[in-house]
Amino acid sequence: MVKAYSFICLIFILLSCKHEAPVLSNEESNQVVLKYVSDTIENRHVVLEVFDGVVNELAPTGHQEARRIQLKALESTHLIRVESGGFSIPRDGHPDFRTRYGDSLLLRSQSFAFPSGNINRGRYFGKGVVSGGIAMTSRFWSETATAVLSQQSSMNIGGNAVFNRGTRQMTVDIEVYYTQEQSSKNQLHLALTESNIKEKQAGLGDNYNHNNILCDLFLGLDGEAISAPTTKGTQINRRYTFYIKQTYNRNRYGNGLDPKPENFELIAFVTQDSGRIETANRIPITIN
């Protein structure tokens, strides 16, 4: 069962979504020295983006189904909870988990149902909330995720991140290695999420454990173009340094609650021109 929300008025948001975290540096090289990835063909990883809201009593059913799917393939399934639409607007003491990207992601996914979700931003015939749309209701998530996990990926993604509490800077190293040729242009994305946030959720009281909340898309809504040839044997090396704002983009933090780096998760993924996510990986974060 889902709840519906009209979001026609959100179209203008697509024009204003640039990345939130200041990029202090960005270095690129294509030297083939594998440190974080393998050069053998691996299967695709799943990215499940769940659309819901803190005032939607049905949202926890989506959280539970997403977690159940993740537990089947923990290392290869990555969850991003996107607070979006009217149900994300807090009231009566609910937290504000909105980002400037949430409604734009929802609009691109063509969903009016909550909870709903994308599996690798792919279009799967007969499964969309709307015909030809990307977002699906939760009853289709499991079978779609299983299918994606069985497919070979044309690339492997890996990396490492270090967060300095004193400077609030996060340095991120990313490797992408192409095990097969890609005919489409590719874009690299970095999503930061936070878990273990005890706050109010409609229908479940004041101490609900919120997980996988989207904090930021470091490289913006559309990611960063991979300019090197996407041919077999090509390796992309990127190094970024981001500043993690102490108040971040959620009004909740303006009330004195700061983000907790130990609850961060960083997910790197690569999209094609169509917007489909080819594969992804969880990037470990060391905290100093």
Determine the 3-state secondary structure of 104 from DSSP: helix
Q: Give the pLDDT band (50/70/90) at residue 2.
A: low
Cβ atoms within 10 A of the Cβ of 163, count? 20
Average pLDDT of the chain, as a whole number = 87
Residue 31 is given by DSSP the state -
Q: Which among 37, 42, 64, 40 has a CA at the least distance from the CA of 52?
A: 64
pLDDT of 227-254, one tens digit each?
888 899 999 999 999 998 776 545 544 3
Written as six digits, the tokens of 270 are 């690569």
| pLDDT for 224 beyond 50 | yes
Which tokens hold the place of 200? 């109010």
Q: Model confidence over 140-192: pLDDT tens digits?
A: 999 999 999 999 999 999 999 999 999 999 999 999 999 999 888 999 999 99
Q: Looking at residue 245, what is its pLDDT?
A: 78
User: Is-contact 49 117, C-beta < 8 A?
Assistant: yes
pLDDT at residue 220 above 80? yes
- Asked if 147 and 24 touch (Cβ cutoff 8 Å), the reply is no
Q: Where are the alpha helices (DSSP H) in 164-227?
A: none
- Alpha-carbon Rg of the chain, whole angstroms? 18
Tokens of 35: 């440190």
The DSSP element (H or E) to which 65 belongs, if any, is: helix 59-72
Residue 57, pLDDT above cutoff 50: yes
According to the model, what pLDDT value does residue 24 have? Answer: 64
What predicted TM-score, i.e. pTM, was given to this entire model?
A: 0.89
Neighbour tally for 142: CB within 10 Å: 15
All structural domains of the chain: 21-287 (2.60.40.10)
The per-residue pLDDT for range 71-106, each reduced to its tens digit, is 999 999 999 999 999 999 988 888 888 888 999 999
Alpha helices by DSSP H, listed for 74-227, are: 102-109, 141-149
Q: Which two tokens stand for residue 259?
A: 């983000």
Tell me the two tokens of residue 3: 């709840």
